[in-house]
Structure 1
Amino acid sequence: MWTHKAWPGRFLPQSLPAKERLRAYAGWCNAVEGNTTFYATPSRATVETWAEQTGPGFRFVVKVPKAVTHERRFVGVETEMRAFLDAIEPLGERAVLWTQLPGSFGPSDVEVLGRFLRRLPADRQRAVEVRHPEFFTDARATSLLEGTLAAADAEWVPFDTTVFFQSPPTSEAEQDAWAKKPRLPRRTRALTGRPIVRYLGRDSVEETVAGWQPWVAVAAEWVREGRTPTVFLHTPDNDEAPALARRFHDEVRALASGLEPLPEPEPVEPATLF
């Protein structure tokens, strides 16, 4: 997302028109998850406004529609994929094609995934998120998936929820996430030069920051190796997300001096009560 009910007056200007919200968000962060594309393919005109509001270094990780991954499971999806690829074309090489798979998609399905990945445009980066436990706990399943992804020059996107599930929920937002988010082991192995990580912390800033320390070290090592990682930081309520993203980036920069700083956001007038 690039807007949230808790952000106006803090991270974004108050009453900002919808067509300007991404531009304001891009002052805080240099990447965004395109989660809405999972539910509906946007119009090409809408995506053109996304491209216009962001600079050439801004990165979009856009999710392949659920009709392709969850409903059809890659069978007979030519029409849906043509529409999706045409819609996001204005983003060019800034768009990463993110294929999120359901928990039921297991090792026996990897072959069809490989065929799908190889048919994607050669000039688009590919990324895959799996949720079946065997990919994380069975060495043969891990090796099979890694080999398939490597053959398609695709990255494995880990969704690290280990910190979130260390203690029971203490808020309504945490209770909702507790029921919906996957419980999977932490994975820190990168397959390409542009790794992607999703990290879910807690509503507590202190717990979130303490929990991400392993990722600070991993991301800094990737930068020193010449990789360009993208890390998405979530909390159940996401109220502090932009500030947390900048804090994480600064912690990585302290360990990897070659990492460029994030852009400086425009000053925001504080929200008023009347």
Structure 2
Amino acid sequence: MGCAMWTHAPWRGRFLPHPLPPEERLRTYATWCNAVEGNTTFYATPARSTVESWARQTAPDFRLVVKLPKSITHERRLNGAEEELRSFLDAIEPLGPRAHALWIQLPGSFGPADLGTLAGFLRRLPHTYRYAVEVRHRAFFDDRRSEGLLERVLAGVGAEWIPFDTVTLFRSPPTSDAERDAWVKKPRVPRRTAALTDRPIIRYLGRDATEHTVEGWRPWIGTVTEWLREGRSPTVFIHTPDNADALTLARRFHDEVRARVPEVDPLPEPLPAEPPTLF
């Protein structure tokens, strides 16, 4: 279980101690959740020393789903990005087993005609890592042939298809600035619940109102329960437009799954946001 980030202003002093030095932020987040989306790497390849710090702050079984830089996926569109890819792979090497999957998020314009490029790119990747692809072109959701072709490309290299479930967000008009911003920026695609591998990954986006977020994730509770009973090991990321309560929502989702599958390990006990007092 995890969130879209490990530090967020609305969490400071409320869920997480504040202030926290950079070398303690991921460690403290990891007392709440045991996975996190590595979104920061989309904007720039981190220094290797930064990644070494991430590794020091987390246990080997902590899961980071690390996004490839946009220079590879969006600017070069997987073509001629060998140097950028080498730099990225070298930078994240200290994560070791914490790199649960490398996340290839493709732009909305990357469609069925580009599947040959994706197939060639995936075949050239080192076998050291697992890979997961997120697509946003509507044809992959609306056209069965395009969907099947993509599934075959991914299955050929053992890669997963990451669904970004925004159905709840778009179910009714936005009611806050954060929701209005999400309406503009997030993809409007159907919900997809099929897993291709034994390690499926879900990105779920709810609403700022907790009751709407919880109601919207009901289908996922059943799907994740089924996957666990099949022997799969899913990773679930909970988002809301403002993410103010994402930490507690992630733990609530986990609790609902454990109520159905009690053998799932509990999440860690969170560190208190404030130090204990004598009175």
Q: Same fold (TM over 0.5)?
A: yes
CA distance in 1, matches of 2:203, 2:195: 13
Secondary structure at 1:10 match in 2: coil
Point out where structure 2 has 5 or more consecutive residues left out of the alignment.
Answer: none
Deviations 1:205-248 (A, max 9, x none): 11000110100110111111111100100000000011000000
Query: RCO greater where, 1 or 2, for CA within 8 Å and sep 6 or more?
Result: 2
State the Cα RMSD in Å: 0.9
**Alpha-carbon deviation of 1:111?**
1.1
Name the % identity.
67
58, 62, 82: which one aligns with 1:54? 58
Which residue does 1:68 correspond to in 2? 72
The residue correspondences of 1:90-129 to structure 2 (distance < 5 A) are 90-95=94-99, 96-129=101-134
Is 1:262 aligned to 2:271, yes or no? no
CA distance in 1, matches of 2:143, 2:273: 49
State TM-score, norm by structure 1.
0.97
Secondary structure at 1:6 match in 2: helix
8 Å contact from structure 1 (residues 224, 258) kept in 2: no
CA distance in 2, matches of 1:220, 1:256: 7
State TM-score, norm by structure 2.
0.95
Which residue does 1:138 correspond to in 2? 143
Deviations 1:24-77 (A, max 9, x none): 000000001011111100000000000000011100101111111111111111
CA distance in 1, matches of 2:207, 2:79: 38
8 Å contact from structure 2 (residues 51, 91) kept in 1: yes
Which residue does 2:193 correspond to in 1? 188
CA distance in 1, matches of 2:110, 2:263: 39
CA distance in 2, matches of 1:239, 1:94: 26
Amino acid at match of 2:200: P
Which residue does 1:15 correspond to in 2? 19
**Alpha-carbon deviation of 1:93?**
2.7
**Alpha-carbon deviation of 1:123?**
2.0
Is 1:157 aligned to 2:159, yes or no? no
Point out where structure 1 has 5 or more consecutive residues left out of the alignment.
Answer: none
Which residue does 1:217 correspond to in 2? 222
CA distance in 2, matches of 1:68, 1:268: 38
Stretches (4+) displaced over 4 A: none
The residue correspondences of 1:173-252 to structure 2 (distance < 5 A) are 173-252=178-257
Which residue does 1:25 correspond to in 2? 29
CA distance in 2, matches of 1:40, 1:28: 26
Amino acid at match of 1:9: G
